[in-house]
A and B are shown apart, each in its own frame.
Chain A
């Protein structure tokens, strides 16, 4: 079995995404975080096999092309896409989660009246698999399927979100950046008359753009939340670029849900809890 390692590393920041050519009968094999995926080009079809490791915190980054069709393991899910097009190009694209992500600071934080706080939050990446020159979408999978959660003032009102497994941190150095996670800087300004307690933050991930820093880390737009007064209103701005500490960045993808205006005024209960 001829095998060609495209990249294989745990330390190097080289990207795991990109475009790859696959001859008929060849496979692309990659592991990102706990997710393992094989893409196989067969006669008249694309076959995708994927499975996840039991350990949700597993962190791999590995990409390999092999000149053979591999036998999937018993726990692998197989999906077949038939096609008559003579495409051989596979594109792997990193995208952000398709729902908001609810995260908690390490401990509940009070933002003093007239003061601000900056937090860093890591959210799991999704892998989008496209084929052909027209980039036809085959499938989209999370590198780690986060747990569902509900964010809202009651069980009647609110929205379905993902629960972040990691805490929001105040200092970037305490974060462990991983290739399967994107880091978001959240800044909360409290212009209200009293101290403001933050227990949970509903991060509007589908409204954020994705960036790659020169250090190879994935960043999203900065989220700025501004409490404007005693009333339960918050101004949300998702248009800010990643923080200066990320260094020079290049934009990888646009938000999933494009916004006509980047500044939204929303109920406090819809964003912070």
Chain B
């Protein structure tokens, strides 16, 4: 044990020990400085731009600082950096080819952070995924869907594809498509559905609800009813509005058409033989008919 210790002592002479100590202290100071600088820059950006941007900037400053500290340390111990940097250049090209996707995601992430189409907490829709944005990272964003699944969407995909932010503006429009029979009075239908909005405290009075004829459908007039709602009440109104509309239309005996089929055997053929029988339908009546009977 004693001999081993002595040999170590001989191997590490005073000068080497001093150099090692100096390098260690420099590296430690450099890392502390980097940490402090990253935190300070992060704080400044957090105030000016937002938490997500500050997080990325903090990381960039941190990584850059660590690289500088490592290179300085190597330089201090006498390693020729030009050789290392040359090797690093070749390595960078190799890594660059290998990590094209990651680099593309990082750059896309930086563009997205600059553009700021969303912030953490927004509800966004990308492709078929809709959910709350839980984090924005260098390579991807994480979305929590409403059935509580975590979806990771690469930044590159976000930059390339159309993205919908459902919570950017404080109010939203809820569109409900339905139809009414051709013999209904359109103005009466408008009055009835407007009354539904008027009685619903969560539907906005202004911008006013809009009933828009869309098309002459196969079975009736196709309509779109658009109601404005505060963003936070959207789900609540969506849950109840269809039922309230249906109730109001039934109460006013306004017919919502359902598919009718007329069967014709053609000119050459004989008519269908029809036999009238009494049964439960005759006794109780067709529920659909009874509801919409005028």
Contact = CB atoms under 8 A, between A and B. Distances in A.
Nearest to A145: B201
B202 A148 contact: yes
A149 B233 CA distance: 12
A146 B201 contact: yes
A149 B171 CA distance: 10
B201 A148 contact: yes
Contacts of B207: 150, 155
Chain A residues touching B, range: 10 to 19
Interface in B192-251: 198, 200-207, 228-230, 233
A146 B230 CA distance: 14
B204 A150 contact: yes
25 contacts: A102-B205, A145-B201, A147-B198, A147-B203, A147-B204, A148-B201, A148-B202, A148-B203, A148-B204, A148-B205, A148-B229, A148-B230, A148-B233, A149-B205, A149-B206, A150-B170, A150-B204, A151-B206, A155-B169, A155-B171, A155-B207, A156-B169, A158-B170, A163-B205, A163-B206
Max chain B Cβ within 10 angstroms of own Cβ: one of A156, A159, A160, A200: A160
Nearest to B232: A160
A159 B171 CA distance: 9
A200 B202 CA distance: 20
A149 B205 CA distance: 5
Interface string B168-180: 0111000000000
| Majority-rule SS of B interface residues | loop
A200 B233 CA distance: 24
Interface in A102-119: 102
Interface of B: 169-171, 198, 200-207, 228-230, 233
Interface string A115-159: 000000000000000000000000000000111111100011011
A160 B228 CA distance: 12
Given A148-B204, A160-B230, 11 more contacts: A147-B204, A148-B201, A148-B202, A148-B203, A148-B233, A149-B205, A149-B206, A150-B207, A155-B207, A155-B228, A160-B170
B241 to A, nearest CB: 14
- Max chain A CB contacts within 10 Å: which of B170, B198, B200? B170
A151 B198 CA distance: 17
A147 B205 contact: yes
Contacts of B171: 150, 155, 160
Nearest to A142: B201
B228 A147 contact: no
Contacts of A151: 206
Contacts of A148: 201-205, 229-230, 233
A207 B178 CA distance: 43
B201 A149 contact: no
B169 A149 contact: no
Contacts of B230: 148, 150, 160
Given A155-B169, A160-B171, A150 B203 contact: no
A193 B207 CA distance: 30
